[in-house]
Every structure is written in C-alpha cells, then in structure tokens.
C-alpha cells in the first residue's frame, strides 16, 4: 500500500511539474536530495558502528549479563515467558538502552538480535509469541531520554537550540510507551480469555 502511495505522489509531482514547465526544477531537486541522502547516511555510519561495536564489547566483557540481571526484576513482569538467564534478556536490554539514547539506527540490529533470541523460544515459527509482541510494542514506542539522532539532525540543519526537543520527546515517548504496554496487556488478556473459553 505504501509503495502505491509513494508511486502516486512521485508520478503526480512529475506530471504537475511537466504541465507547469518545471521539469528542470524536479531534476535539480532529485539530484540535491540524492546528495543530501548520501551525506546523511555517512553521518550515521559512525554512530551505528560505534554503538554496535560498544554492544559487542559489553557483551564480551559480561556487562550485558550484569545489566540484564539488574533489570530482570523490571523486565520479568513484561516478559514472564522468557526463562531466567536467557540471552534474550541481554539483547532486549541493549536494544532498550540504544532507544533510550535516541539511537534508532544502532537499536535496529540489537532489536533484530533480540527478536531472533525470542524466536528461539517460539514453539510455532509462524505465530508471534506474547513476548515478541510486547518487545515490538516497547521497541516501537520506546521511551527516549536523549534523542541523539534528532539533536544531530537539528544541529546539522542549523538549529539555534538543537536540544530543545528533549523535554517534549521524553514526554511524548513516555506516553506512547505507556499506551503501547497498556494495549499490549489488554490484547493479551483478551486472547487468553478467548483461549480459555475455547478450552
């Protein structure tokens, strides 16, 4: 569906430019956007490599296990089906840490690893487990304490106060995470009640 929407918008833009005789402006905009995209990608490579490498070092040094054990009392009620000491906890913790720091690009590979660990506990590979659904809800709406990526983008765009969004981002992401967890809980209870009635 999104592909159809983007295709329509692109085709409509080119058509309107052709009717108005501004095809050259479209070509210039495409070229400039391509250059900006390449520069943006290269600016994120350093952040991504740094945090992914840091996660590997922390994992090899045993810090992930220590952090996972420390946060287990908080995460345990959210993920009751994950056995104690399972590597999934460490991956989830690292993903949450990256998201809290606003490093979405660095959180992505950590999130994929966490989901892979959760999949190893899944008895039915065609259906997501409740733990996978809860992790997805938290990961998608994650509380962001320091929106590092957005601050960097605002600074690159010439903002006079690139960190001005910290408070509003924290408030919005906290509300989003609270709502996501609430809906996840309600959906899980509904499924459990339905399964109980069928049983």
pLDDT at 150 over 60: yes
* Average pLDDT taken over every residue of the chain: 80
Q: What is the pLDDT of residues 36-68, one digit of tens each?
A: 777 777 766 766 677 667 667 776 787 766 766
Predicted confidence at residue 44, as pLDDT, reads 63
Q: What is the DSSP secondary structure assignment for residue 129, as one 8-state letter?
A: -
pTM: 0.66
What does the alpha-carbon distance between residue 190 and residue 183 come to, in Å, rounded to a whole number?
10
CA distances 171 to 99, 136, 141, 146, 178, Å, are: 15, 20, 12, 11, 11
36-40, 74-78, 119-123, 161-165: least confident range: 36-40
Predicted confidence at residue 93, as pLDDT, reads 84
What number is the average pLDDT over the span 191-198?
A: 70
Predicted confidence at residue 182, as pLDDT, reads 92
What does the alpha-carbon distance between residue 140 and residue 99 come to, in Å, rounded to a whole number?
9
The radius of gyration of the chain from alpha carbons, rounded to an integer in Å, stands at 21
What does the alpha-carbon distance between residue 2 and residue 23 come to, in Å, rounded to a whole number?
25
pLDDT at 111 over 70: yes
Q: What is the DSSP secondary structure assignment for residue 78, as one 8-state letter?
A: T
Question: Which residue in 118, 117, 119, 98 sits closest to 107, CA to CA?
Answer: 98
What does the alpha-carbon distance between residue 46 and residue 112 come to, in Å, rounded to a whole number?
20
6-15, 38-47, 139-148, 187-196: least confident range: 38-47
Q: What is the pLDDT of residues 5-30, one digit of tens each?
A: 888 888 887 788 778 878 777 778 77
pLDDT at 153 over 90: no
């Amino acid at each position: 569906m999104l592909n159809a929407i983007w295709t329509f918008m692109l085709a409509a833009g080119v058509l309107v430019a052709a009717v108005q005789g501004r095809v050259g402006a479209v070509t210039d905009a495409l070229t400039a956007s391509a250059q900006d995209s390449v520069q943006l990608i290269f600016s994120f490579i350093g952040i991504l490599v740094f945090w992914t490498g840091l996660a590997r070092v922390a994992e090899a040094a045993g810090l992930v296990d220590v952090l996972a054990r420390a946060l287990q009392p908080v995460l345990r009620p959210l993920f009751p089906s994950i056995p104690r000491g399972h590597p999934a906890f460490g991956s989830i913790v690292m993903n949450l840490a990256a998201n809290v720091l606003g490093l979405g690009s660095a959180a992505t590979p950590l999130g994929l690893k966490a989901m892979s660990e959760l999949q190893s506990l899944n008895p039915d590979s065609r259906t997501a487990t409740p733990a996978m659904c809860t992790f997805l809800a938290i990961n998608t709406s994650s509380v962001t304490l320091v929106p590092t990526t957005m601050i960097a983008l605002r600074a690159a765009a010439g903002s006079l106060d690139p960190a001005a969004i910290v408070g509003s981002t924290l408030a919005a992401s906290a509300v989003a995470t609270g709502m996501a967890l609430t809906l996840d809980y309600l959906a899980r209870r509904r499924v459990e009640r339905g399964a109980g009635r069928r049983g």
